[in-house]
Chains A and B, each alone.
Chain A
Amino acid sequence: MPTNPQARDLTATRGRLNPRLALMVVLALAPAAVLGVYICCQQHRASVARVNADALRAAELVAASQQGLAEGTRQLLATLTELPLVQTNTSRPFLHSVFRNLLKLSPACVEFGLLQRDGQWLASSLPVAPEGGFPHEPLLRKVLASRRLVVAGGAPGATNQPAGVWFGQPVLDGAGEVSRVLYAVVGVEALTEAANRTRLPRGAELTICDARDAVLARWPERSHPSSPTGNAPPFHLARNEATAMEGLTGLDGGGLFFAYAPVRVGSSAPLAVWVGIPKAGAYAETRDALVLTLLLLGMVAVVAWVAARWYASVRILKPVRQLVAAAERLGADDWTARTGLSHSRGELGLLARTFDDLACTLQRKQAESERAAAELRAAEIKFRTLVEQSLVGIYIIQDGNFAYVNPRFGDIVGRKPEELIGKPVLDIVAEPDRALVEGNIRKRLQGELPSIRYHLRCVRPDGSPVPVEVHGAAAEVNGRRAIIGALLDVTEQVQAEAEIRRLNAELEQRVALRTAQLEAANNELEAFAYSVSHDLRAPLRHISGFVELLAGSAGGRLDERGARYLKTIADSARQMGRLIDDLLDFARMGRARMNTARVDLEELVGAARAELEPDTRGRNIVWKNGGLPEVEGDPAMLKQVFLNLLSNAVKYTRQRDPAVIELGTENANTEEIIVFIRDNGAGFDMRYAHKLFGVFQRLHRADEFEGTGIGLANVRRIIARHGGRTWATGEPGKGATFYFSLPNHHASQGTHGTQTNPPG
């Protein structure tokens, strides 16, 4: 594996792990160490106690042996004082020999002597008296004072005397007074020997002192026992009982444990034994134990640390390294990376499982995201193609600048898209239209208009204007307000519109021309109609008039045939007059200007019926009226319609008694109003229904029903001019129904539902 930051980190981790492991081992062993030290302390305390006890016992043993020696000496002296030779003998040689023999008997003693009460020396084991008298003045005084045995150390200041312990025993006369003083000196050698018989602990010091703390003997013999100099133990501290104490300093300067034991002779304790055991000796055992314990602990620690290192390396660092390696592979986009560790072992197993699960999830997510990215790319390509290849210019405006334009947009305004992006919109707008464009952009951004479509002129770099149509809408692009839109080049459209306008103008000119021609023709027609109206009627009137005058003046002279001829002439002239009048009416109806107003059809029916009154007089006619509405129309024309239809109904029901004429509306809907006029008159054959509304078309003979055949033609013409329809149904002999419809300009409908019967 190449060295990379993660690997270095791992090394560092291991570097940090080892001291931690060591610390752990130390912490684990610390209680044992503390326990060991504690035990050692206890042992130390115990060994100190034991050493003290040993010292005390040794001191007591030594004291006992000394005491035996002293007791023997006392008893010897006590016995000797009973002897008369001692009490009374004054022979120095005799006494000397006795004492010499005594020395041989008592090897512990080195000297025996006898003193006068006044201190005068009588005799001793020594061959000659010592120079200057008895050396141990204090002993003598004490004996004299106490009259009892006195034991004391070496004589003060006497260097020629044997070293030892002095025993002074008073010799009492018969009166119980002290006459003489017997003394013996137990030699130091004897003391030492007695001490030597006692087994002392190794390295122990033994000191024998008198009551004044003067050192009588010391073992081992490092210095002269009589020398009071040196660091003597404070023997005065303990005097009466055996005592152990520590913290004192031995003669060699080392620390010692001391034990004291008095040597009792009678009721006094003239001697004391001190036994010192060096501290070093007492501590050595404890120290050795402590060193051993610590050594063992150290070895355990080393073993434990090595084991921990091995365990950490195998059970922690290796899996961690595998985890790190897997993580690095994941980091390097290797989505198949797995730890390869067993998932069942401990916390690292759990971690490995979690990691592997995570890797699985990541792999799945990665696959999904790659798929999504692929789809997104496909969609992006699709939409990009759509936009880039679009034949319509597409743009996005943000902050007054182009954020995007497609190639077609660039083509339209004669620039490359990359030249436009980021540039102000108004740069490509022709000067006069800039305010318009600015206003429209603002309106959309402010939400006044969500979308807009308008025309403007862009300008190409060469200054040529391009008419365009813009479809823009406000939108949000990348979280910011924007205007998106499409731009269409409408140059061709504008040209086409100009062409259309030109053609329209031409057409209008042509129409005007045609209209003028038509008007001219119409005028001619009117002139013709006028002529017909005026000039054709005059001769007819003359014919009619003069026939009447002729009939009046020459009627009597004419035979029957002549009279019939005259009547035929008059009738024909009258008929022709009616034809001309109707024809003129018809022509006039076509040309007359319509004066549209709100018309109550009910009123028109009333007026028409009033006009027809001469024709209906004397007839039995039942009028039924279902009610007619108000409509928009020309009142005069619509009245003519009712007049024609009602007069027809009246005319063709002439043979009915009663005649029934019904008016009403039918199937009225919102689009048209349908009015019908039904009669029970002559009716007609439906085969000829298409001829009914033709000009001069008649379905009945003139001698049956008079008429010119112009009435229904007029009705159709009027209704057609109102935008309505006319039709009829009928059956010969059963009656007819005439219908007309009118556009329903207002949905309102009058309600004149009445049924009336005229008088008669």
Chain B
Amino acid sequence: MELKRILLAEDNPHDVELTLAALGEHNLANEVVVVRDGAEAIDYLRRQGAHAGRPDGLPAVVLLDLKMPRVDGLEVLRHMKSDPALKHVPVVMLTSSREEQDVVRSYESGVNAYVVKPVDFDQFVEAVKQLGFFWAVLNEPPPGSARQGNR
């Protein structure tokens, strides 16, 4: 199974750990790049700043937390969708907010999926598994995405 790179933008280290645990539990990600806020996510995607020297290729999917310091998830999403180089990269909002306005705004900005993080860990694991399986495994990414060798 070909695994792809996943970019996870999440400021909360617990959530990062839980998400990675969930992804790792099912061996869905051989490479998960974690950035801690929106600005860093944009730097990574544009290979600039601290991430200027990262390996080329775009992630198969970007998992965005909505609420992050400095630049929040929605801003990252709008950046990406307004950037011709990035607008084909699938973006999934992975957030604890079930607010309708957040959902509406995200979809208006061109998000590809919106997933509410369940409180229950089993459900959380299940959700992340489904997510990772669909986007990182089944979905055919646009050309230019980073590809990793089989494991």
Q: Could you list which residues of chain A lie within 8 angstroms of chain B, going by C-beta atoms?
A: 529-530, 533-535, 537-538, 540-542, 544-549, 570, 573-574, 576-578, 580-581, 584, 588, 592
Bound state CA distance, A581 and B96, in angstroms? 11
Chain B, residues 6-21, CB within 8 Å of chain A (1/0): the string is 0000001011001001
Per-residue contact bits, chain B 98-136, to A (CB 8 Å; 1 contact, 0 not): 111000000000000000011111101100000000000
* A344, B67: Cα distance in complex, Å: 132
A541 touching B21, Cβ below 8 Å? no
Q: What are 6 A-B contacts with C-beta separation under 8 Å? A: A534-B96, A538-B96, A542-B15, A548-B125, A573-B119, A581-B119
In the complex, what residues of B have CB within 8 A of residue A576's CB?
A: 119
List, in ascending order, chain B residues with CB within 8 A of A546's CB. 14, 18
- Contact yes or no, A577 B21, CB < 8 A: no
Contact of A542 with B97 in the complex, beta carbons under 8 Å: no
Main secondary structure of the interface of A (DSSP, over half): helix
> Are A541 and B100 also in contact (CB < 8 A) when A534-B67, A546-B14, A548-B121 are?
no
Q: In the complex, what residues of A have CB within 8 A of residue B18's CB?
A: 541-542, 545-546, 549
Which B residues are in CB contact (< 8 Å) with A581?
Answer: 98, 119
Question: Do the beta carbons of A548 and B122 come within 8 Å of each other?
Answer: yes
For the side of the interface on B, what is the size category? 20 to 34
Contacts from B to A (Cβ < 8 Å): 12, 14-15, 18, 21, 66-67, 95-100, 117-122, 124-125
Which residues from B are CB-within-8-Å of A577?
A: 118-120
B96 CB contact (under 8 Å) in A541, A544, A547: A541
Residues of the A chain whose Cβ atoms lie less than 8 Å from the Cβ of B118: 541, 577
The 8 closest A-B pairs by CB, nearest first: A577-B119, A548-B121, A545-B18, A542-B14, A545-B121, A537-B96, A534-B97, A544-B121
Contact of B120 among A530, A534, A549, A574 (CB under 8 A): A574
Expressed in whole angstroms, the minimum distance between the Cβ of B97 and any Cβ of chain A is 5
| Closest beta carbon of chain A to B64's beta carbon, Å | 14
Q: Is the CB of A547 within 8 A of B12?
A: no
Residues of B within 8 A of A542 (CB): 12, 14-15, 18
Q: Knowing A541-B18, A541-B124 touch, does A530 contact B119 (C-beta < 8 A)?
A: no
Residue of A nearest to B95 (CB): A534
Q: What is the bound-complex CA distance between A577 and B67, given in angstroms?
A: 19
Contact A545 B124 (CB under 8 A): yes
Measured between alpha carbons, how far is A581 from B117 in the docked complex, in Å? 12
Query: Closest residue of chain A to B97, judged by CB?
Result: A534
Chain A residues lying within 8 Å of B95, measured Cβ to Cβ, are 534
- Given contacts A534-B67, A538-B12, A544 and B97 within 8 Å (CB-CB): no
In the bound complex, what is the Cα–Cα distance between A446 and B44 (angstroms)? 86
With A534-B95, A542-B18 given, is the CB distance from A588 to B100 under 8 Å? Answer: yes
Closest to B102 in A: A530
A548: chain B residues within 8 A (beta carbon): 121-122, 125
Q: How far is the CB of B100 from chain A (nearest CB, A)?
A: 7
Q: How far is the CB of B33 from chain A (nearest CB, A)?
A: 21
User: Do B99 and A530 touch (CB < 8 A)?
Assistant: yes
Given known pairs A541-B119, A544-B120, A574-B119, the reply for A530 and B21 (CB within 8 Å) is no
For the complex formed, measure the closest distance between the CB of B21 and the CB atoms of chain A, giving whole angstroms: 6
Known: A541-B117, A549-B21. A584 touches B122 (CB 8 A): no
